Amino acid sequence: MSEPDYLSREATPYHVFKNKRNFLKKLIALGLLPSVNGFASESSSDSYITDKQLVTSYNNYYEFSTNKKMVKHLAQELDTSNWSLHIDGLVDKPMQLSMSDIFDMKLIKRTYKLRCVEGWSAVIPWQGILLRDLLALARPTIKHGFVKFSSIYAPSVMLGQRTNILPWPYIEGLRLDEAMHPLTLLATGMYDAPLPKQNGAPIRLVVPWKYGYKSIKAVSKITLTDTRFESSWMQSSPSEYGFYANVNPNIPHPRWSQRREVPLGQTKKIKTQLFNGYAEQVANLYASDNINRLY
Ligand SMILES: Nc1nc2c(c(=O)[nH]1)N[C@H]1C(S)=C(S)[C@@H](COP(=O)(O)O)O[C@H]1N2
Ligand SMILES: [Mo]
């Protein structure tokens, strides 16, 4: 990935953002809007939801293009009807689920900040299911281990998959305890609507304390395993992208600092927080690890 141009063209001038923020604050005070929940230690000035228009038109989705603004046009070609999500590996009940099976599960809403390793972030209201609820259905036979996620492989429409910019399909992974954490979502929607194709329809992972590349789009397979494996980004750039990829302002990317980030739609950088602001909820996962080594 490359460091971005900090969104110069689509950035909202700061005074526009400020007025909007004050307006939202008034609505919240009047009880007309819920306050943003889900990120514990963000200051209230950062707790605003990013414009849907920005979140749906500035996308990383290398299967389609490395040009963030082209993705929303190209991604419409993917046929997401008749989707099946396979769960296999070290489980009692391997299964193949349709999207209607998923929609029969308990759907929840969560507003999370997504922090891309490139240095931008967005606050997004998601809908979806808890990954732990899905894994419980398949009944893992291991207590410790790893969960491997694969995106769909469809080079006839995913033109990026005809290039070797990344090994395909896009693979990501979590440790089993991270996958079972109650913050970890499989999202089927955003902004109270079905997930747009450019954002990973029909179903994508959302892990808010990790860099955005862990939040794999268009998931078609979930495999439980007792051995760690390499994600697509680890295979393509092992010195730049790790398995854990926890948001950590103290560990610079080899080519840029991770101390700050630009919220989409703003021009002013804000401080990047350890675990993207979710330390209170997730730090215990890493109690026995050196988090400044864990990457
Ligand atoms: N399959 C797949 N998933 C992916 C990517 C990708 O290229 N392919 N990019 C990742 C990166 S780098 C980021 S920052 C987020 C962006 O999600 P968004 O477009 O919904 O904001 O998706 C992640 N998931
Ligand atoms: Mo990213």
CATH of the domain at 212: 3.90.420.10
Token readout for 191 is 């902004």
How many whole angstroms separate alpha carbon 15 and alpha carbon 85? Answer: 45
| 175 falls within a domain | yes
> Dihedrals φ, ψ of 248, to 5°?
-150, 110
Q: How many CA atoms lie within 13 A of 86 on its CB side?
A: 10
Looking at the 3D structure of the chain, how many domains does it have?
A: 1
Position 46 scores a pLDDT of 45
239 CA → ligand 1 middle, Å: 20
Burial code (b: 16+ CB inside 10 Å, e: under 16) for 105-128 equals beeeebbbbbbbbbbbbbbbbbbb
Q: In this structure, is the dihedral angle defined by the CA atoms of residues 141, 282, 132 and 89, taken in order, positive or negative?
A: negative
Contacts 24+ apart (CB under 8 A), 232-241: 232/166, 232/167, 232/168, 232/169, 232/170, 232/171, 232/172, 233/166, 233/172, 235/166, 235/167, 236/165, 236/166, 236/167, 241/117, 241/213
Identify whether 203 is part of a domain. yes
Tell me, yes or no, whether 293 lies in a domain. no
Is 292 contained in some domain? no
Nearest CA to ligand 1 atom 24: 216
pLDDT < 70: residue spans in the chain: 3-47, 291-295
Please report how many Cα atoms fall inside a 13 Å half-sphere around the Cα of residue 224, on the Cβ side: 28
The rounded Å distance from CA 61 to ligand 1 centre is 5
Residue 254, amino acid: P
Whether 151 is covered by a domain: the verdict is: yes
Long-range CB contacts (within 8 A, 24+) of 75-80: 75/196, 75/197, 75/198, 76/197, 77/157, 78/152, 78/154, 78/157, 78/158, 78/197, 78/201, 78/218, 79/157, 80/197, 80/201, 80/202, 80/218
Nearest CA to ligand 1 atom 12: 213
Distance of alpha carbon 116 from alpha carbon 59, whole angstroms:
10
Return the half-sphere exposure (C-beta side, CA atoms, 13 A cut-off) of residue 152.
25
- Give the number of the ligand closest to the Cα of residue 3: 2
CA–CA dist 180, 295 (Å, integer): 19
pLDDT at 1: 78
Residue 56 in any domain: the answer is yes
Please tell me whether residue 24 adopts helix, strand or coil conformation. Answer: helix
Q: The domain containing residue 243 runs over which residues?
A: 5-283
- Decide if 295 is inside a domain: no
Q: Which of 128, 127, 177, 171 is nearest to 152 (CA)?
A: 171
What residue ranges line ligand 1, CB within 6 angstroms?
A: 55, 59-63, 114, 116, 151, 170, 199-200, 212-213, 215-218
Is 202 domain-assigned?
Answer: yes
- 110, 185 Cβ separation under 8 angstroms: yes
- Ligand 1 atom at shortest distance from the alpha carbon of 71: 19
Q: Which of 119, 111, 148, 146 is nearest to 223 (CA)?
A: 148
Q: Distance between CA 192 and CA 34 in Å, rounded?
A: 14
Pairwise CA distance, residues 217 & 38, whole Å: 21
**For ligand 1, mutation pick of 52, 61, 69, 188 (most atoms within 8 Å of CB):** 61
Identity of the amino acid at 136? A
